[in-house]
Amino acid sequence: MESLVDVNEKEKEKKNIHLYQLAALILQKKEDLKKLHDNIAKIDKRDGKNICKIKNKIIDLEKQLREHKNEENHLLENLTDIQQSERKLQKLSNDIIEMNQNKSVIPEQMNININDVRTKLNKYNEEQNDLYKSLDNEDKEKEEEK
């Protein structure tokens, strides 16, 4: 039979071997954990850049939205002016028709007013067309960017 000392020595050797195996496993796990932390840091850095890009894109889109709202308001103002001018022109045209039917002479001032209103109306129509073209061009550019 083996002596108690020999058994204890074998147990110690087994425990030492197991201890070294555990130490090696711990070192491996520490390396794995370090790699994992490095990968997380890389992901955070890359995602941080992506988040900044997304935030900048949102800011750009908000700016474009404000610009479009301003253009829309300007167009609505022009449209209101155009509608008012059209009503004036229609009234003046009706007055001219009525005067012609009554064989009345058209006062010179009325001709001047009619011409002024026509000029303004043409100007507003041109501005409106230019704004619509510019909006269409911006929309096309945005689609091309995508």
pLDDT score at 30? 92
DSSP secondary structure string, 55-114? HHHHHHHHHHHHHHHHHHHHHHHHHHHHHHHHHHHHHHHHHHHHHHHTTPPPPHHHHHHH
Would you say 96 and 106 are in contact if contact means Cβ atoms under 8 Å apart?
A: yes
Would you say 114 and 86 are in contact if contact means Cβ atoms under 8 Å apart?
A: no
Residues 6+ apart with CB under 8 A from 117: 85, 88, 89, 92
Residues 6+ apart with CB under 8 A from 104: 98
48: its two tokens = 């941080």
Closest CA to 76 of 120, 116, 131: 131
57: its two tokens = 């894109």
**Cα–Cα separations (whole angstroms), residue 132 to 75, 125, 129:** 9, 11, 5
What are the pLDDT tens digits along the chain (146 aa)?
A: 456 667 677 888 888 888 889 889 999 999 989 998 888 878 777 777 777 888 888 898 899 889 888 888 888 888 888 888 888 888 888 887 887 777 655 566 666 777 788 888 888 888 888 888 888 888 788 777 76
pLDDT score at 31? 92
Residues 6+ apart with CB under 8 A from 92: 110, 113, 114, 117
